[in-house]
Amino acid sequence: MQNRSIEPYLNSSFECECGRTHKSLFAHYIFEPGAIERLPALLARLGYRRPFLISDTHTHAIAGRQAEEILQRAAVPFSSHVLKSPENSDLAADEHALGSIAMANDKEADIIISVGTGTINDLGRYFSYITGRPFLLIATAPSMDGLVSGVAPLIFHNMKITFPAQEPLALICDPDIMAAAPLKMLAAGAADILGKYNCLLDWKLSHIINDEYYCDTIAGIMRTAVDQTMDCAGGLASHDREAVSVLTQALVLSGIAMDFSGNSRPASGAEHHQSHYWEMQFLFDNTPAVLHGTKVGIGTVLMLELYNELARMNRPDFARLRAEISSRPSMDEWEKEMRRCYREGAEGIIELEKTSGKNAPEGLLRRLAVIEEKWEEIKALAAQAPLAGEIYHVLETMGAARRPADVGIPREYVRDSIRFGKELRDRYTILQLMWDIGALDASAERLVEKYCDEQ
């Protein structure tokens, strides 16, 4: 099993054609059968003597106990904290879990090791950061693209907030363990990667319209990883180890691409805004969480529908669009909608609009002028989007959720996530473009009709 796609980018720094120097400090990627056996030697080589292991009941059984036994045999002193997984759901990465880790903290430990991929990874990465120690990750499933990441999304006061975190200096994956993960988790990881089709288009779109920094090299690295993942969906469905290897590499490359660009642009666009929006609603409603990548997959189908629609669209009447700006909903009406949709999180959204002015008439006028001038270029970009139906079919191949109702997202939340998901971040995407040309509300209705007919 080769790591050929990743090797050139480990601990790398290069001058790029885009004019920037791209850098990633992530250096050690071990993906091989029995990979955990290499932990003691790796620690010795890196100069660490006493790890503090963090796992939960599930991941401890999958790989944590094995890591402990290996350390014991090698006479490496360590301490280990196993968080209790709730009976019927997953552990949340929130202040309670973090408090549990803090209370079990081993002050003598010189490195933090998380055993697990989702919650435990987020918690460990953040705990390393706040206690100023390096971080190492033993992955248990290729279920999301935060394997190599310098931020941690955590739940604080029922709100999902992205905190700075310690990027792992090494990632250890045993393909036997990764491939044995439930298909639901493999499919979620793949869907998180398929979402990059949309986010790369969003990035380029913003470059065309706002002259935002864009790098062809980074986008190219990501696109190759997505194409390869697309081709191995069938293999994932049968837990094939080669397919899992391709997927894990794509997930790691996604983190490296973010290191290179210095933000999450190459890995997160409107499809992630859909996922975040629904996740917030689940938190407000106190309903069980759904895997991140699963939601991203559903959001990707919807957002690609918008690109497909754009590719078929006739040139808008720009003079009319300009004339009608004054009849768009007022800021007061918009604020009312934000309070309805974002509930206790509304203040932050309203604050963001004050600094970003995404919806202010001046910005809209400026963008309409650019969209008018570059309409053909924008349509040509939209024509590069894969068909939503194609991604839908790939998700189906993996038995993954592909319609909102598959994971209990009601019709109203879909309508609102399409209309207002863009308010979550100051990031130009297909959602803002459709809003700019006055097409977003009608598109939301069309998509609700097409994808939410079950309710």
> Please, what is the angle between helix 65-73 and helix 39-46, to 10°?
60
Taking the C-alpha atoms of residue 398 and residue 51, their distance in angstroms, rounded to an integer, is: 37
Given the complex with Zn ion, which of 192 and 423 has the nearer CB atom?
Answer: 192
How many CB atoms are located within 10 Å of the residue 225 CB? 25
String marking each residue 387-416 x if it binds Zn ion according to CB under 5 A: ------------------------------
Q: For residue 346, how far is the Cα from the chain centroid?
A: 22
String marking each residue 123-152 x if it binds Zn ion according to CB under 5 A: ----------------------x-------
Q: Which of 76, 79, 75, 77 is nearest to 52 (CA)?
A: 79
Q: Is 161 in the site for Zn ion (CB under 5 A)?
A: no
Helix (H) or strand (E) holding 164: strand 159-164
Closest approach of Zn ion to the CB of residue 146, in Å? 7
Taking the C-alpha atoms of residue 168 and residue 175, their distance in angstroms, rounded to an integer, is: 19
Given the complex with Zn ion, which of 66 and 229 has the nearer CB atom?
Answer: 229
Residue 413, both tokens = 């939340």
Q: Which of 7, 11, 14, 16 binds Zn ion (CB under 5 A)?
A: 16
**Which residue stretches of 132-182 are H helix?**
175-179
Closest approach of Zn ion to the CB of residue 426, in Å? 18
Q: Which of 454, 448, 343, 443 is nearest to 408 (CA)?
A: 454
Q: Which of 67, 113, 194, 215 binds Zn ion (CB under 5 A)?
A: 215
Closest approach of Zn ion to the CB of residue 270, in Å? 12
**Side chain identity at residue 381, one-letter code:** L
Closest approach of Zn ion to the CB of residue 271, in Å? 8
Q: What is the DSSP string of 269-307?
A: SHHHHHHHHHHHHHHHHTPPP--HHHHHHHHHHHHHHHH
Q: Binding-site residue total for Zn ion (CB under 5 A)? A: 6
Closest approach of Zn ion to the CB of residue 150, in Å? 14
**Side chain identity at residue 105, one-letter code:** N
Q: Which of 3, 12, 18, 370 binds Zn ion (CB under 5 A)?
A: 18
Given the complex with Zn ion, which of 111 and 141 has the nearer CB atom?
Answer: 141
Given the complex with Zn ion, which of 122 and 436 has the nearer CB atom?
Answer: 122
String marking each residue 176-205 x if it binds Zn ion according to CB under 5 A: ----------------x-------------
Give me the residues that bind Zn ion (CB under 5 A), please: 16, 18, 145, 192, 215, 217
